[in-house]
Amino acid sequence: MKINLKKIEKMGDPTRNQKILLDDIFIEKNALSKLPEIMNTYYKDYQSIVMICDENTYNIAGKKVESKLPNINTIVLDPNHLHADEHGVEQADIHLKKIGKIDFLIACGSGTVHDITRYHAYNLGIDFMSIPTAASVDGFVSTMAAMTWKGMKKTFTAVSPRFVLADTEIFSKAPARLTASGVGDLLGKYTALCDWKIAHAVTGEYINWDIVNWEYDILEELVQTLDGLSKNDEKAYENLMYGLLMSGLAMQLMGYSRPASCCEHHCSHLWEEAAINEPIDFYHGEKVGVGMIICTQVYKKALSYLKRGDYTLHASVDVEFDLIKDNFKNEILQEEILKENEPNIMENITGKMLKDRESDIISILETLPNVTTMMEWINKVNGCTSMNDIGLSEDLRPLTLKLSPYVRKRLSFMRLLKFYDFYNAVIE
């Protein structure tokens, strides 16, 4: 599958420096066979090349990379409890320091390996290549490293890969859970786009409609090919990988994650911070998919209230500092969350603004697929659809919905709902 990066880049606004940072993307069977040619064409001046992988991805793809690039240095991380956090970064750093001078990195793995690699590429001031071994997340071409750092979910400035080499023969044979995670992460764009459009309608926040419409096309292609994933259809896997990479390019064009992340990711981040729950060891996309479902349940309930029109609105809404302090007991984490909410992103929003945009909000919420449909999509790949599926009690649902909007300084409809008198009714 050949990707026309120039066509995609035209969706960006050059006055906002919206551009693509990749040299190229290949998504095809036996793509790894082209690795020597690609290195010679694009990166022939690099002498010290290091591949970062874990034991699993080394056996799946790393050995093939070594056979194509005999002089490469390989760092094989221990996959047990490997996460994109300070411990994973340190594990790789120990090996990198032993190697010394490095010109170029290759990330051979899924999301965790990529975030660790891009973090180090940024700090070393060098380029890297992405070789995804599973269609599991949309962050392969991200310019940010999403990490849990000292208990806090953080987004670090990092670098995009210069090239993506996605071999269908490899990622189509990834464990089914990783593929289901990718489906959950990509489907989560439905709520993310819904939040973006509502924020634009209410506050005038900048929105790129070309990117929004492109993402909806990607989602439509995904849902129409989901059946093929359970039948091991390589074209369906390529379409999923394409969708994930294009979602990443949407973020790259914007320069931040607004096109791909909002209320559903806020839930995932809250759970990852283990403020109200015990730590859970589930994939990013599994948590995002569940976040999408529980947020959609709330949004659809709110829609029914909005249509009836028998509600009142608060004039303004302050940050619930006591709620934050009561639940984020870890002092460092609490301090970070409090900083994240100063100033209040809703300080210039009034109840009247929401009332004035009522018809717009209703129209946007009506375009959001219903929960039953979302669950049917995820069930096609045996993914996670409830909090119980990811090791959480359903009793935590109301608190999740109350707290999650505070983990990121990004306006969501979940946070705007705090203006409405029916708020508690729709989150219970």
Q: How far is CA 311 from CA 159, 217, 277, 420, in A?
A: 46, 35, 33, 7
Instruction: List Cβ neighbours of 169 (8 Å cut-off, separation of 6 or more).
Output: 29, 30
Tokens for 276, please give them.
Answer: 């109200």
| Bond preceding residue 343 cis, omega within 30 of 0 | yes
Is the distance from CB of 322 to CB of 300 less than 8 angstroms? no
Alpha-helix runs per DSSP H in 309-357:
321-327, 331-340, 351-356
Q: Is 243 within the bounds of a domain?
A: no
- Which bin fits 395, alpha (ψ -120 to 50), beta or left (φ > 0)? alpha
Domain count, the chain: 2
- What number of CA atoms fall less than 13 Å from residue 402's CA on the CB side? 19
**Span 258-317, pLDDT tens digits:** 999 999 999 999 999 999 999 999 999 999 999 999 999 999 999 999 999 999 999 999
DSSP strand pairing (152-157 vs 163-167): unpaired
Tokens for 338, please give them.
Answer: 């409090």
Residue 192 and residue 111 share a domain: no
Q: Is 296 within the bounds of a domain?
A: yes
Residue 154 has a pLDDT of 78
Q: Is 253 within the bounds of a domain?
A: no
Residue 372 has a pLDDT of 98
CATH (domain of 83):
3.40.50.1970
Over residues 359-368, mean pLDDT: 98
Residue 153 and residue 63 share a domain: yes
Residue 167 and residue 123 share a domain: yes
Residue 68 and residue 46 share a domain: yes
- What is the DSSP-derived secondary structure letter of residue 152? E
Residue 69 and residue 26 share a domain: yes
Tokens for 385, please give them.
Answer: 């659809």
**Span 173-208, pLDDT tens digits:** 999 999 999 999 999 999 999 999 999 999 999 999
Residue 153 has a pLDDT of 77
Residue 1 has a pLDDT of 83
Residue 250 has a pLDDT of 96
Q: Is 312 within the bounds of a domain?
A: yes
d(CA 307, CA 271): 32
- What is the DSSP-derived secondary structure letter of residue 232? T
DSSP strand pairing (49-54 vs 104-109): parallel
The pLDDT mean for the chain works out to: 96
Over residues 18-44, mean pLDDT: 96
Residue 191 and residue 136 share a domain: no
Q: Is 418 within the bounds of a domain?
A: yes
- Domain end call among 128, 149, 174: 174
CATH (domain of 381):
1.20.1090
Residue 200 and residue 119 share a domain: no
Q: How far is CA 16 from CA 146, 169, 327, 335, 363, in A?
A: 23, 38, 39, 32, 29
Q: Is 221 within the bounds of a domain?
A: no
Over residues 220-243, mean pLDDT: 97
Planar angle of CA 152, 156, 161, nearest 5 degrees = 135
Q: Is 224 within the bounds of a domain?
A: no
Q: How far is CA 48 from CA 13, 74, 105, 123, 375, in A?
A: 36, 11, 9, 16, 47
**Structural domain range at position 280:** 187-208+259-427
Residue 158 has a pLDDT of 87
- Domain end call among 174, 198, 228: 174
Residue 65 and residue 23 share a domain: yes
pTM: 0.96
d(CA 69, CA 49): 9
Residue 120 and residue 62 share a domain: yes
Residue 90 and residue 19 share a domain: yes
Residue 196 and residue 88 share a domain: no
Over residues 391-409, mean pLDDT: 98
Q: Is 303 within the bounds of a domain?
A: yes
Residue 76 has a pLDDT of 98
Residue 308 has a pLDDT of 97
Residue 128 has pLDDT above 90, yes or no: yes
Residue with the bigger pLDDT between 2 and 332: it is: 332
- Domain end call among 125, 149, 174: 174
**Span 144-160, pLDDT tens digits:** 888 888 777 777 878 99
Residue 280 and residue 137 share a domain: no
